Structure 1
Amino acid sequence: MDLEKVFHMKGGRGETSYSENSSLQKKAADKVNHITVEAIKEMFLESKPMSLCIADLGCSSGPNSLSNIKELVNAIERESRKLFERAPEFRVYLNDLPTNDFNTIFQALPDLYRELKKGRNHGSPSIYIAGYPGTFYGRLFPDKCLHFIYSSNSLHWLSRVPPGIYNEQGDSTNRKSIYISENSPPKVAQAYFEQFKQDFSLFLQSRSDEVVVGGRMVLILLGRNGPNYVDRGTAFLWEILYRSLAILVSKVRC
């Protein structure tokens, strides 16, 4: 299965859409918002670019990405006022897989522009936003063009199902489970680890070519509290999903 062609969050703005069910992701990002803001401020004060380029990798289709962009723009404008200097223009690239619902984000742009214009006597900041579809496990942008890279709740998604979970006959060794469970053999956990290591290394290598000297990167991703890969803080959601799918399959009539 080519995940790049089929994998995406639920689009639109309906009751079951990602847009209406992403408050948990926003809460996680808000917890480290001070780190994100401080990182882009440090970069700006060191280099003071006239045109500041930001990339949000794994933007999805909800309101969180634009909310974060507003925070970053406001932070840089505050620093510019302190220095009695004109704020830079902002180039923002919103990246996700090609099947992502970019239209929902684009439809929210007028609201973002209105919010950025509020309370500004000199008008809204110069900000240019574009969608940038493609997998971030590989090169996306030209050499040395990004000043700030941000990714929240995206990098725990792997580029593919780890091939190491299959035996020589092509059958899964994960005992009919869809995640690393208490019943999974050690080989399964190792396969997921190797795939993550490969993906994350490629991600970092690709970004190192794209970010300017002195640029910054903030990555927020799902983790666990201890060395045990079966963590109740994350695994219980997968268990609920697995049981739901198992019940659904059991009711299918041939």
Structure 2
Amino acid sequence: MEVMQVLHMNKGDDENSYAKNSKVQSKIISLGKRSNEEAIMQMLCTNIPDIIGIADLGCSSGPNSLSLISEIIDIICAKCRDLGRPTPELKVFLNDLPCNDFNSIFGSLPAFYDELRREKGSEFGPCFVSATPGSFYGRLFPSRSLHCVHSSSSLHWLSQVPPGLESSARTTTIMNKGKIYISKSSSRGVLEAYSLQFQTDFSTFLKSRSKEIAAGGCMLLSLMGRRSTDPTTDDSCYHWELLAQALMSMVSEGLVEEEKVDSFNAPYYGPCVEEIKIEIEKEGSFIVNRLEGFEIEWDGGVDDADTTFGAQLRGQRVAKTIRAVVESMLEFHFGKDIMDELFKRYGEMVEVYLSRTGTKYTNLVVSVVRKG
């Protein structure tokens, strides 16, 4: 599976779209707001360039994309207002893989500009938004052209399935039989393959950004991870375990070929704090300002949780959230016909699991500054 050609959030605005099912990601953005403000304010205290380059890596589409940029612009405008100086020109680059739904973002730009002008008035300077398709596991921008880089809910996606896990006609041993990610029954070889792929990818990411970010510039990263050094803990991998169980239930009924499950492994890895620290220190271009974790409900938390139907529908909400993110990969591998049944079963399994446990996602927030 070529991740760059297959991975994208569900497009459009129907009931299974990412635009309608990205509350978890919205919650993650809100949890990182304090770190964003702290890092950007610190950057602007030392120098406010005439043109500020801002990049959102893994921007996806839907309401979260431009709300994040709007938040960063708010912080910059507030600082310039406090200093009694005009807001500099802003160059905003929205990055994601080429198959992302950039058209929907562009369609919402006129309203975005109108709202900025209405709220900021004369203090709002020129702002130029453009798309930069491509993988952030490599160079995307000219040297020293960026001052603020943000990435939310993206860096847990790997550039590829770890080598050695994908089975083929030549494969004699199935490394991760009946599973689609790390699980408590995974062999040491599976754990090491995932860990090594994350190290390789995150190192490449840091090296690329170190060339693109100007001295004193900030980078704000938010990604799914785990609190424990053990990658098999429930907060790290059990949402994948339940999806594998849903697939295997369909295998038992002859609806899915077992070989199909054995040959699918998610290009995903939720690191721990120590793994992130090691790679940042090893690369050497950045100073860590903040590195912390937050817990998030699997459905992002809902206002109607205390109503009669709240608990009953929780599994369905989680299933829709996961479907909006991973359906493109699953459909490519298993075909479109099984998706409705798969996520129906998945929702039921999630509902049972969450009724018995208090498991939450762990989201890691990282704030770094480019050394001079």
Same fold (TM over 0.5): yes
Query: 1:88, CA displacement in angstroms?
Result: 0.5
1:164 counterpart SS class: coil
Cα distance in structure 2, aligned partners of 1:44 and 1:18:
34
Going from structure 1 to structure 2, the CA distance change for 1:124 and 1:152 (only over 3 Å counts) comes to: same
1:218 aligns with 2:220: yes
Cα distance in structure 1, aligned partners of 2:201 and 2:236:
20
2:225 counterpart SS class: coil
Alignment of 1:144-183 (within 5 A): 144-165=144-165, 169-170=170-171, 171-183=173-185
Cα distance in structure 1, aligned partners of 2:41 and 2:127:
17
Name stretches of at least 5 consecutive residues in structure 2 with no aligned partner. 258-372
Cα distance in structure 2, aligned partners of 1:120 and 1:207:
30
Query: 1:7, CA displacement in angstroms?
Result: 1.2
The residue identity in structure 1 corresponding to 2:85 is E
1:120 counterpart SS class: helix
Cα distance in structure 2, aligned partners of 1:144 and 1:210:
5
Q: Which residue does the alignment assign to 2:241?
A: 239
The residue identity in structure 2 corresponding to 1:251 is L
1:25 aligns with 2:25: yes
Name stretches of at least 5 consecutive residues in structure 1 with no aligned partner. none
Going from structure 1 to structure 2, the CA distance change for 1:186 and 1:92 (only over 3 Å counts) comes to: same
Q: Which residue does the alignment assign to 1:229?
A: 231
The TM-score with structure 1 as length reference comes to: 0.93
Q: Which residue does the alignment assign to 1:193?
A: 195
RMSD: 1.8
The residue identity in structure 1 corresponding to 2:255 is K
Query: 1:248, CA displacement in angstroms?
Result: 4.4
Q: Which residue does the alignment assign to 1:63?
A: 63
Q: Which residue does the alignment assign to 2:112?
A: 112
Cα distance in structure 2, aligned partners of 1:161 and 1:242:
16
Cα distance in structure 2, aligned partners of 1:74 and 1:240:
40
Going from structure 1 to structure 2, the CA distance change for 1:94 and 1:81 (only over 3 Å counts) comes to: same
Contact 1:175 1:183 in 2 (8 A): no
Contact 1:162 1:191 in 2 (8 A): yes
The TM-score with structure 2 as length reference comes to: 0.65
Query: 1:234, CA displacement in angstroms?
Result: 3.6
Higher alpha-carbon deviation: 81-90 or 226-235: 226-235
The residue identity in structure 2 corresponding to 1:224 is R
Q: Which residue does the alignment assign to 1:13?
A: 13
Q: Which residue does the alignment assign to 1:140?
A: 140
Cα distance in structure 1, aligned partners of 2:184 and 2:79:
50
TM-superposition CA deviations, 1:22-66 (whole Å, max 9, x none): 110111121121111221122122121111100000001122121
Cα distance in structure 1, aligned partners of 2:114 and 2:39:
26
Query: 1:246, CA displacement in angstroms?
Result: 3.1
1:251 paired residue among 251, 255, 258: 255
Cα distance in structure 1, aligned partners of 2:16 and 2:167:
36
Count of paired positions: 253
Higher alpha-carbon deviation: 240-249 or 80-89: 240-249
Percent identical pairs in the alignment equals: 44
Q: Which residue does the alignment assign to 2:205?
A: 203
